[in-house]
C-alpha cells in the first residue's frame, strides 16, 4: 500500500510541475520584485513604452479579397478540394484568350446555380453550378464572367451570371464576348447556350432574373 501511495504522489507531483511550468517565469519575477522593492519603479517606464508601442501598431489592411471572402460566407463559405482544382484548371484552359485578365477562382458552398465576378478578377462559382455543368459548359460560365471584366461595363461591385433586368445590355454583351472567348479556345459556343438553359430551368419564373434569362437563351438559339 505504501509503495502504491508513493507512486501516486510522484505522479501527482509530475502533473503539478507540468501545469505550473508555463507560469514559472512570472513567479520568479514576482519574487524578484518582492525582494527588491526599488526595482518596481524602474520597470514602470518599460511597461509604459511597451503599451504605447503596442497601441500604435496599425491594424492589418482591409483588402478587397478580405471583403469578398467575407461576402462569400452568406453562400456557405469557400470550398476546397477537387471542385476548386477543376475550376482552376478550367480557368487555365481559357487564360490565353482573356486579354491578360488574371482570374482568381473560388468555389462557393451553395447548391444554387450561380456565379459571380468582381472587378479585381475574383470569380466565385457555386458548387451547384459546377456539379450541373459539363467541362465546356463550365468554361462558358467563366467566359461569361470574363466578358464582364474585359468589357469593364460593371458599374456595380459584382456581376452575376443570372443577370439583372436593368442591366440586360451588359449581360447580353458578356454572353457575346464569352462566346468569342470559347471559339478562340476551340470550344463550341453552344456550350454557352446549354449552360444558360440549365440556369434558366433552375430559376423560378417569379425570380427577377428569369425574364432576362429567357431573352438571353432566345438570342443564343437564334444565332
What's the pLDDT tens digit per position in 161-191? Answer: 888 777 788 899 999 999 999 999 999 999 9
**Cβ within 8 Å of residue 143, ≥6 positions away:** 94, 177, 178, 179, 181, 182, 192
C-alpha cell at 174: 458578356
Task: Decide if 203 is inside a domain.
Answer: yes
Of 176, 194, 211, 185, nearest in space to 113 by CA: 194
Domain that holds residue 106: 64-222
In this prediction, residues 106-113 reach a mean pLDDT of 95
**Cβ within 8 Å of residue 25, ≥6 positions away:** none
Q: What pLDDT is recorded for position 163?
A: 83
The yes-or-no verdict on residue 17 having pLDDT over 70 is no
Of 178, 41, 161, nearest in space to 99 by CA: 178
Task: Decide if 86 is inside a domain.
Answer: yes
Q: What pLDDT is recorded for position 49?
A: 47
Q: Which residue has the higher pLDDT, 77 or 152?
A: 77
Q: What pLDDT is recorded for position 41?
A: 53
16-20, 41-45, 46-50, 52-56: lowest mean pLDDT where?
Answer: 52-56
Task: Decide if 71 is inside a domain.
Answer: yes
Task: Return d(Cα 191, Cα 74) in angstroms, integer.
Answer: 29
In this prediction, residues 79-89 reach a mean pLDDT of 96
Enter the pTM of the model: 0.69
The yes-or-no verdict on residue 37 having pLDDT over 60 is no
Q: Which residue has the higher pLDDT, 99 or 146?
A: 146
Residue with cell 459539363: 134
Measured at the CA of 213, the angle between CA 208 and CA 217, to 5 degrees, comes to 165
DSSP-based three-state secondary structure for 115: strand
Distances (CA, A) of 203 to 69, 124, 162, 183, 199: 25, 18, 9, 27, 6
DSSP-based three-state secondary structure for 120: coil
Task: Decide if 126 is inside a domain.
Answer: yes
- pLDDT band per the 50, 70, 90 thresholds, residue 54: very low
Q: What pLDDT is recorded for position 47?
A: 45
Task: Decide if 25 is inside a domain.
Answer: no
Total of domains in the chain? 1
In this prediction, residues 18-39 reach a mean pLDDT of 50
Task: Decide if 88 is inside a domain.
Answer: yes
- Name beta bridge partners: 86: none
Task: Decide if 213 is inside a domain.
Answer: yes
Q: Answer yes or no: are the C-beta atoms of 182 and 192 closer than 8 Å.
A: yes
Task: Decide if 164 is inside a domain.
Answer: yes
Tell me the pLDDT of the chain averaged across its residues: 78
Q: What pLDDT is recorded for position 135?
A: 98
Measured at the CA of 19, the angle between CA 16 and CA 22, to 5 degrees, comes to 135
The yes-or-no verdict on residue 70 having pLDDT over 60 is yes
Q: Which stretches of the chain are assigned E, i.e. beta strand?
A: 78-79, 104-108, 115-117, 122-126, 159-160
Task: Return d(Cα 183, Cα 97) in angstroms, integer.
Answer: 10
- pLDDT band per the 50, 70, 90 thresholds, residue 123: very high
Amino acid at each position: 500500500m505504501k509503495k502504491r501511495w508513493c507512486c501516486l504522489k510522484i505522479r501527482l507531483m509530475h502533473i503539478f510541475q507540468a501545469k505550473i511550468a508555463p507560469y514559472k517565469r512570472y513567479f520568479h519575477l514576482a519574487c524578484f520584485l518582492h525582494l527588491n522593492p526599488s526595482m518596481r519603479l524602474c520597470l514602470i517606464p518599460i511597461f509604459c513604452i511597451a503599451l504605447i508601442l503596442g497601441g500604435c501598431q496599425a491594424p492589418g489592411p482591409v483588402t478587397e479579397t478580405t471583403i469578398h471572402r467575407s461576402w462569400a460566407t452568406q453562400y456557405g463559405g469557400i470550398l476546397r478540394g477537387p471542385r476548386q482544382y477543376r475550376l482552376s484548371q478550367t480557368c487555365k484552359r481559357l487564360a490565353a484568350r482573356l486579354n491578360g485578365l488574371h482570374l482568381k477562382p473560388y468555389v462557393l458552398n451553395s447548391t444554387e446555380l450561380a456565379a459571380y465576378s468582381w472587378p479585381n478578377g475574383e470569380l466565385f462559382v457555386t458548387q451547384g453550378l459546377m456539379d450541373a455543368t459539363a467541362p465546356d459548359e463550365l468554361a462558358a460560365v467563366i467566359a461569361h464572367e470574363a466578358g464582364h471584366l474585359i468589357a469593364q461595363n460593371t458599374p456595380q461591385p459584382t456581376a452575376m451570371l443570372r443577370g439583372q433586368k436593368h442591366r440586360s445590355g451588359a449581360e447580353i454583351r458578356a454572353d457575346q464576348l464569352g462566346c468569342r472567348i470559347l471559339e478562340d479556345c476551340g470550344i463550341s459556343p453552344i456550350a454557352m447556350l446549354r449552360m444558360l438553359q440549365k440556369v434558366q430551368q433552375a430559376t423560378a419564373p417569379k425570380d427577377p432574373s428569369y425574364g432576362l434569362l429567357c431573352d438571353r437563351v432566345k438570342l443564343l438559339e437564334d444565332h
